[in-house]
Structure 1
Amino acid sequence: MTHRTAAAPPPSGTPRASLEVPASVVAALLLPAAADATEDQLRGARCIWCEDGPLQAATAVDLGEQRSPAGSWFPRACQRCTAAWAHRGLFEHAPMCEQCTDDASRCEVGLILYRLIRQGPRP
């Protein structure tokens, strides 16, 4: 059985396509500051949260170009960290979002955070 807001998981062993996250959702993920990241994290070679890497294009979560006073950076994350931070983000977002409290199926941020949680690795 699949949930109507989440894509069915791919068959075991199938690489997943690179995931891209809209800027509105990246804000809910609470990225670390660019000043606290290593060079590999800034260019997306290693996970922005756990430094796992090198990340594979087929499984990394692309968090898009970010801007800081020092310039642009391109964070990516492993699926495990993305799911964990999406869970935290959804926990913070949903109670404060009028749309989530009225009808969660209409909130793009909430739905994408939920999908990121579902696409994380299974124990």
Structure 2
Amino acid sequence: MPRDAATRVETVPPDVLALLGLPQFGDLTADQVRGAVCVWGSERLTAERAVDLGEQDGPDGRWWPRGCPACTASRAHRGLFEHAPSCEQCVDSGERCEINRILYRLVRAGHR
């Protein structure tokens, strides 16, 4: 999986993205749709401070959401609590679960 140089985390796979909870396309501003502003907040993003959430399908075609490190970390932290209790791998040993590892990296990247 390729690494994102801006945040030093792996590209966010669909299973992890579902736990982060992207807003509905219709609820976003034009700046959020084009990745200039965090999809969960109003922070303007730069290449150095953005977490790329991957290409998505929207009602008007493709869009490329991005989040600020703080909002992404907060969502990832909640995602860990939602995911871990029902995941056999996480219950046995969290470091064996790819979803757990990616969420944990997103949390850490947001607190740098």
Please say whether Structure 1 and Structure 2 have the same fold, judged by a TM-score greater than 0.5. Answer: yes
> Can you give the 5+ residue segments of structure 2 that lack an aligned partner in the other structure?
none
User: Would you say 1:18 and 2:6 are equivalent positions?
Assistant: yes
Following TM superposition, the consecutive aligned residue runs of length 4 or more in structure 1 with deviations greater than 6 angstroms are none
CA distance in 2, matches of 1:45, 1:64: 14
What residue number does 1:83 align with? 73
The equivalent position to 1:113 in structure 2, one of 92, 96, 103, is: 103
Q: Amino acid of the residue matched to residue 49 of structure 1?
A: W
CA distance in 1, matches of 2:58, 2:85: 29
> Which of the numbers 25, 38, 53 marks the counterpart of 1:47?
38
| Greater share of helix | 2
Q: CA RMSD in A?
A: 1.6
Q: Is this contact kept in 2: 1:100–1:110, CA < 8 A?
A: yes
Equivalent pairs counted in the alignment come to 106
Give the fraction of aligned pairs with identical amino acids, expressed as a percent: 58
Gaps of 5+ in 1: 1-15
Q: Which has the larger radius of gyration?
A: 1
- Using the size of structure 1 for normalisation, the TM-score is 0.79
Kindly indicate whether the alpha-carbon contact (under 8 Å) linking 1:84 and 1:117 is maintained by their aligned counterparts in 2.
yes
- Report Cα offsets for 1:46-77 as digits up to 9, x if no partner: 00000210x11122100001113332211001
Residue 66 of structure 1 corresponds to which residue in structure 2? 56
Q: Which residue of 2 aligns with 1:34?
A: 25
